[in-house]
Amino acid sequence: MSTSFEETTAPVTRTQIVRFAGAAGDFNPMHHDEPFAQAAGSDTVFAMGQLTAAILGEAVARWLGRDAVAGYGVRFKDKVVPGDVLVLRGEETAEPGRYSLTVTRRSDATVVLSGWATTRR
Amino acid sequence: MADASHVGLEIDRFTFGVEAGKLREWAAAVGADPDTADVPLTFAAVASHHRDQVGMVRKLDLDIRKVVVGGVDWEHRAPVAVGDTLSGARVVTAVDVKERTNGTMTLITIETELRRGDGEVVVVQTDTVIELP
């Protein structure tokens, strides 16, 4: 296992958001119903934070090993919308077995999610 | 508006199976190998299918238009596999009220301990829900 990782995702799509709604059970219309989201003042639908958390979680599980992960946490910083390309990053911290994580929108380098993970000692 | 009187409140209680079909849907949504037998780190989120969000908003006296999720943490205590049945309850563990110049901001911590059929806690999910001013 390396001490850091970086991956770039394919652009987020509406179909992906709908797939995740079905998988995870989040049917808040802000995430799939464009007229509803626009009536609520949003430019477009936006991905559920749990989708970004799941995409990063998948990459972290591959990086650290699924069964090695003891803890994983995320803080949502900005909305992710269809078309966004996400850059997933993780690196080991000074504390052994603790890792810091970020998800950044590639187009404007905005951090949309920050997180952490720990592995079993 | 939620306040300290809500600490200890059980929002809802639910049971769900860790199903292979759900895992395939999940993998397709996040770009993972659809044949993986690994249960995702955040799979406890599928409990959303079994939770009562309308009831939560009512029980905590929240204004749904002002509610955002600030973050989520998962503590993995024991292995979980396809075929397991998980059950748990959402419980309010903290309510932190902050006065801002534009009004009151409330941070609500909700903890869900998910247990396998044999009673062992496999994952603890902690949600931080924010009601904006």
Concatenated DSSP letters of B65-110: GGEEEEEEEEEE-S---TT-EEEEEEEEEEEEEEEETTEEEEEEEE
Q: Using 50, 70 and 90 to split pLDDT, how confident is the model at B82?
A: very high
| CA–CA min distance B13, chain A (Å) | 16
Residues of B in contact with A71 (CB under 8 A): 73-76
Is the Cβ pair B71, A74 closer than 8 Å? yes
Q: Which residues lie closer than 8 Å to B133 by C-beta, 6 or more apart?
A: B66, B100, B102, B103, B104, B105
Relative orientation angle of helices A14-24 and A49-64, to the nearest 10 degrees: 80
Cα(B83)–Cα(B111) distance, rounded to whole angstroms?
A: 24
Convert the pLDDT of each residue in A25-54 to its tens digit: 888 899 999 999 999 889 999 999 999 999
Convert the pLDDT of each residue in A62-84 to its tens digit: 999 999 999 999 999 999 999 99
State the complex-level ipTM: 0.94
Residues of A in contact with B32 (CB under 8 A): 58
Cα(A12)–Cα(A10) distance, rounded to whole angstroms?
A: 6
Residues of A at the B interface, defined by Cβ within 8 angstroms? 9-10, 16, 19-20, 22-26, 49-51, 53-55, 57-58, 60-61, 66-67, 69-76
Q: Using 50, 70 and 90 to split pLDDT, how confident is the model at B49?
A: confident
- Please check whether residue A68 is in contact with residue A47, taking contact to mean a CB–CB distance below 8 angstroms: no
